[in-house]
Amino acid sequence: TGGNAMAEVDRLPIDEVMPELLEALDSGTRAVLVAQPGAGKTTRVPLALLKSGWLEGRKLLMLEPRRLAARSAAAYMARSLGESAGETVGYRVRLETKVGPGTRIEVVTEGVLTRMLQEDPALEAYGAVIFDEFHERHLSSDLGLALCLQSASLLREDLRLLVMSATLAAGKVSELLGGAPVILSEGRQYPVETFYRPRGSGSRLEQDAAAAVLEALRKQEGDVLVFLPGMAEIRRTGDALRRLGLPDGTALRQLHGSMPLREQDE
């Protein structure tokens, strides 16, 4: 059923460069993939790599910078296979692990990867480590990559390392990976247009964000996704939107990694 489920999924921009990426990791052990947001790299690449002969029965490990992203990526890939998270695709995040005896892809957060490397520096059970959204550049992800490079150099010459990003100084990362090939995916799943809205004089972030949301709702059809620096800003912006008044029929949902997992799933 997994193959049929995948065949029914619409093609994404990342599919155009997938043969080049697979060839790079067939003939070498390191690669850099630069793909625009929405290209499909997070959910398509691990599933495509599962068919690679060099895995030799080992699992794939993919690093995500946040718990919410790790759980969401694993759940999406599992659904595309007609499964639930914890079967072919699972995840390990702080306070929660969902993997099983048949799990082939494990999506983990940065702290989890560091602990795994401390317990088993050779990562014997894994054939490749994928660093997703590497442009976010956290200390933990940099440390994880450094430890993986050390492991590959001293213990596991066959360990594949793939760095993926939406915006990245690819040349520098390629150099860090010993001259690894850079694969560039040009396309987007959806058109993206940028509008700039100046900040109000002396206004607070949540006031400006709420005003921008209301303006977007007036001018555009569909949903609005708002990215804010942290939990406090999310809550204050939500409060500001309630005070200003949302259009009829508009539901306001807050989402951040500190929420209980049940509320995140809703």
Q: What is the pLDDT of residues 16-35, one digit of tens each?
A: 999 999 999 999 999 999 99
With beta carbons less than 8 A apart as the criterion, state whether 117 and 151 touch. yes
With beta carbons less than 8 A apart as the criterion, state whether 145 and 113 touch. no
Please give the pLDDT value at position 262.
66
pTM of the predicted model, to two decimals?
0.79
Domain ranges of the chain: 2-185, 205-265
Please give the pLDDT value at position 2.
46
Residue 227 main-chain phi, psi, to 5 deg: -100, 130
Please give the pLDDT value at position 227.
86
The structure tokens listed for 207 are 């006031």
CATH topology of domain 2-185: Rossmann fold (3.40.50)
Q: What is the pLDDT of residues 195-218, one digit of tens each?
A: 887 877 778 888 999 999 999 888
With beta carbons less than 8 A apart as the criterion, state whether 92 and 99 touch. yes
> With a cut of 70, which residues of the chain have pLDDT below it?
1-9, 135-138, 168, 187-192, 257, 259-266
**Residue pointed to by tokens 């997703």:** 132
